[in-house]
């Protein structure tokens, strides 16, 4: 308890301690150490910090800076414009057409026909831009009594409001042209960007300001600026370096639907598609796992093909009870390869030759999505984690030194 009291005395302002610390320590040696004493000394230290003005001035400046930052972020930060078109789908048909309308070829076609991403087309491939467009499209089903029978909102977010409108209008039109839906509302031209609300930005800034004020007051009270700053910086650099050095991986995801009630037939189809000669062909075609002595084995480890029964049938394929969905998941270090391999496996599952041998019909119902796998560290996460670890270890080290 006495050691805790010695630590607490260090919360007093430096100037105060120069004058009174020795005699306060003498007094604390004379009285029995209790939690009440610890509380009283802590209260006195905080009161003296406020009295000396250091805590208030630091907290005030930080609060002002963060409030200003919050204001700037909420007003000038990156803001996307959202355009929405509303369609009334023929749901089974829409489910069947979704893969085709949102496929890379279809989106690339939309980009070219509507002159989207004009400036970016010189810098990025059409495939990349199609992927970018896919990631900016959100399909939002609106329940209307029966949850699956409501209208569907097609929302596209973009920095350019006119571009967002053209894209959402074009995608809606594709569904209409495929007789999968009728148009209810034309895509709107957004007037205001979708910025984070001012109030939320201010509240976040306020919380950050108060926390930073407390942190800085503690740092100042213990005079641990140097270790905190140095180790914080070193931690941030090391964290960012570690995050960028660690290999990243991407998941390709797609779904194939089978018109059968026979699980053995589905398993047979999967077995045909993942036969050793098929895997070898995939490895050779996409040059998978170069430098690995057993690339086929690595492919099997990175590939997850799993059938799921759909007892209520699949509206996309108009099958009755007992159809199957096969999910394909392939993890790879290169984003494009992850997508291409997933797509190739999906195509193989739906090829007539394989279907004939398995005795069932199947078709792809979901386009290939690719996203960074969960274990892939992002640069910013590494940087922040390193910074926090550096500050904490710097604080502890400086604190120990200041006690010594």
Please identify, using beta-carbon distances, which residue of 24 and 212 lies nearer to another protein.
24
- Give residues 48-87 in contact with another protein (rule: CB under 8 A): 48, 51
Q: Is there binding between residue 292 and another protein (CB under 8 A)?
A: no
| Six-digit token string for 297 | 């084995």
Q: Is there binding between residue 30 and another protein (CB under 8 A)?
A: yes
CA–CA separation, 392 and 390 (whole Å) = 6
Please identify, using beta-carbon distances, which residue of 19 and 318 lies nearer to another protein.
19
Q: How many other CB atoms are found less than 10 A from the CB of residue 27? A: 10
Nearest to 45 by CA among 7, 81, 95: 7
Residue 289 DSSP one-character state:
S
306 burial type by CB count under 10 A (0-12 exposed, 13-18 middle, 19+ buried) = exposed
Find the binder of another protein among 6, 7, 10, 28 (CB under 8 A).
28
Q: Check if the beta carbon of residue 234 is closer than 8 Å to that of residue 388.
A: no
β-strand pairing of 152-158 with 137-141? antiparallel
Q: Is there binding between residue 43 and another protein (CB under 8 A)?
A: yes
Q: Which residue has the tokens 């007892």?
A: 311
| Six-digit token string for 382 | 């590494």
Q: Is there binding between residue 37 and another protein (CB under 8 A)?
A: yes
Q: Is there binding between residue 120 and another protein (CB under 8 A)?
A: no
Please identify, using beta-carbon distances, which residue of 35 and 147 lies nearer to another protein.
35
- Give residues 321-340 in contact with another protein (rule: CB under 8 A): none
Q: Is there binding between residue 35 and another protein (CB under 8 A)?
A: no
Please identify, using beta-carbon distances, which residue of 40 and 194 lies nearer to another protein.
40
Q: Where are the alpha helices (DSSP H) in 153-224?
A: 161-177, 198-222
- Nearest approach in angstroms of CB 65 to another protein is 31
- Nearest approach in angstroms of CB 41 to another protein is 4
Strands of 152-158's sheet, edge to edge?
137-141, 152-158, 81-89, 181-185
| Six-digit token string for 52 | 């000396």
CA–CA separation, 324 and 67 (whole Å) = 54
The region of 14-22, 173-181, 242-250, 347-355 touching another protein under the rule CB under 8 A is 14-22
- Nearest approach in angstroms of CB 246 to another protein is 49
Nearest to 209 by CA among 54, 398, 68: 68
Q: Give the gyration radius of the chain's Cα atoms.
A: 31
Find the binder of another protein among 10, 14, 42, 307 (CB under 8 A).
42
Q: Is there binding between residue 138 and another protein (CB under 8 A)?
A: no
The region of 20-28, 63-71, 106-114, 369-377 touching another protein under the rule CB under 8 A is 20-28
The region of 46-54, 108-116, 227-235, 286-294 touching another protein under the rule CB under 8 A is 46-54
Type and span of the H or E element at 12: none
- Residues interacting with another protein, by CB under 8 A? 16, 20, 22-24, 26-28, 30-31, 36-37, 39-45, 47-48, 51
């Amino acid at each position: 308890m006495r050691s805790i009291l010695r630590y607490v005395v260090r919360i007093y302002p430096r100037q105060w301690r120069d004058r009174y610390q020795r005699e306060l320590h003498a007094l604390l040696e004379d009285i029995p150490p209790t939690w009440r004493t610890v509380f009283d000394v802590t209260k006195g230290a905080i009161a003296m910090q406020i009295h000396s003005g250091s805590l208030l001035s630091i907290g005030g400046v930080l609060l002002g800076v963060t409030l200003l930052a919050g204001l700037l972020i909420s007003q000038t930060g990156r803001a996307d414009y959202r355009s929405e078109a509303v369609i009334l789908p023929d749901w089974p048909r829409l489910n069947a057409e979704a893969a085709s309308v949102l496929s890379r070829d279809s989106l690339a076609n939309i980009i070219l026909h509507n002159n989207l991403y004009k400036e970016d087309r010189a810098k990025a491939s059409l495939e990349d831009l199609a992927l970018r467009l896919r990631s900016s499209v959100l399909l939002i089903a609106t329940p209307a009594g029966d949850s699956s029978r409501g209208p569907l909102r097609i929302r596209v977010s973009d920095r350019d409001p006119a571009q967002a409108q053209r894209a959402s209008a074009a995608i809606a039109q594709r569904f209409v042209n495929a007789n999968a839906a009728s148009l209810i509302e034309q895509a709107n031209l957004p007037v205001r960007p979708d910025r984070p609300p001012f109030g939320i930005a201010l509240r976040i800034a306020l919380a950050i300001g108060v926390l930073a004020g407390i942190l800085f007051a503690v740092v100042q009270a213990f005079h641990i600026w140097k270790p905190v700053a140095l180790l914080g910086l070193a931690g941030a650099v090391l964290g960012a370096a570690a995050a960028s050095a660690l290999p990243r991986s991407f998941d390709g995801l797609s779904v194939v639907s089978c018109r059968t009630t026979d699980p053995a037939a589905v398993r047979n189809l999967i077995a045909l598609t993942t036969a050793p000669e098929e895997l070898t062909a995939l490895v050779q075609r996409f040059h998978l796992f170069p430098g690995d002595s057993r690339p086929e084995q690595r492919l099997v480890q990175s590939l997850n093909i799993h059938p799921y029964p759909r007892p209520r049938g699949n509206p996309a394929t108009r099958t009755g009870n007992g159809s199957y969905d096969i999910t394909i998941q392939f993890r790879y270090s290169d984003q494009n390869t992850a997508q291409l391999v997933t797509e190739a496996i999906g195509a193989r599952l739906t090829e007539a030759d394989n279907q004939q041998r398995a005795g069932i019909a199947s078709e792809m119902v979901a386009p290939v999505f690719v996203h960074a796998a969960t274990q892939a560290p992002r640069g910013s996460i590494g940087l922040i984690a390193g910074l926090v670890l550096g500050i904490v270890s710097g604080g502890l080290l400086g604190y120990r030194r200041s006690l010594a």
